[in-house]
Amino acid sequence: MRKCAPLILLFSLCGGGAGFLLRKYQLMTAYEPLSGLPARGAQATILSNTLTLYFFLIVLAFAVFASLRYKTPADFENTFCVNAIIYPVVNVLIGGLLMCGAVMHLVNLRVAEILRTIDVYFVVILILAAASIILSAVELFQNPRHKFVYALSIAPIAFLCFWLIMLYRANAATPVLLEYVYPCLAIMFSTLSFHFTAGFLFGSPSSGKAIVAYCGTIYLCGVALAEKFNTGIILIFCALIAYAAIHLFMLTRTLQRK
């Protein structure tokens, strides 16, 4: 499975890039200029939906094959190679990118004079989640069996659930589901990525589901980057892509034949 690791990662990244371009094309051409509603039978919408369908069919087929023919190592540290210096370095960079995204998002809201109390909560919880990613990566590198890491794994999941609620509340009255469905799906799959990663930590590994979550996060966050978000939110989505990418690569690389 070692040879498949870069291939499935490259496939997910290319799929996210293609989805990004199609979503950009869709936002420019698939909506009525006067009403703002999506045009019926728009080519961009059909292409985007078709790409998403085939992407997930291929990922599901690969995940089923991997779960049936291969197994993960017995512990978290061997599954994700936390003893290698690349794991803590990449996760520290991801945590730093999340913190930069939090600061830039706060600055953009203050400049636009639309800062609300819930936005402050959003930034605070995001910073706590970023700090937990950094601390957990360092702790896993130094002592993989430290119980403190178990508690840290909850913070990113709590932040993503809070963000999903915020995003839904902001768009609940929007009559066009297509306008916000991709960011919602991106956050949902990101939540699953952290959830299944924590499953390996708690002794409940599920390689097939984790592969689907990681690939889906990379693809859907790539598509969500095409939306009109401020720089802070774009940095957050980029950090989520990087988190899913490093864990997808490490997981598929260490799978062992049954």
* CA 217 – CA 223 distance, rounded (Å): 10
pLDDT in tens, 22-58: 999 988 887 777 666 777 778 888 999 999 999 999 9
Least confident of 99-113, 136-150, 203-217, 220-234: 136-150
Q: Which of 175, 221, 216 is nearest to 36 (CA)?
A: 175
User: pLDDT-derived band of residue 110, with 50, 70 and 90 as boundaries?
Assistant: confident
Q: Supply the pLDDT for residue 103.
A: 93
Q: What's the mean per-residue pLDDT of the chain?
A: 89
Tell me the C-alpha distance between 27 and 178, whole Å: 10
Token readout for 168 is 């839904």
Q: How far apart are CA 106 and CA 111, in angstroms?
A: 9
In the chain, the N- to C-terminal Cα span, in Å, equals 12
CA distance 51 to 49: 5
What span, in angstroms and rounded, lies between the C-alpha atoms of 140 and 243?
A: 15
CA 4, distance to chain mean position in Å, is: 21
* pLDDT over 70 at 115, yes or no: yes
User: For 230-239, what is the mean pLDDT?
Assistant: 94
pLDDT at 174: 76
From residue 171, how far is each of 23, 168, 201 by CA, in Å? 19, 5, 35
Return the pLDDT at 17: 95
pLDDT in tens, 136-189: 888 888 876 666 777 888 999 999 999 999 999 888 887 778 888 999 999 999
Return the closest-CA partner of residue 254 out of 92, 118, 111, 77: 77
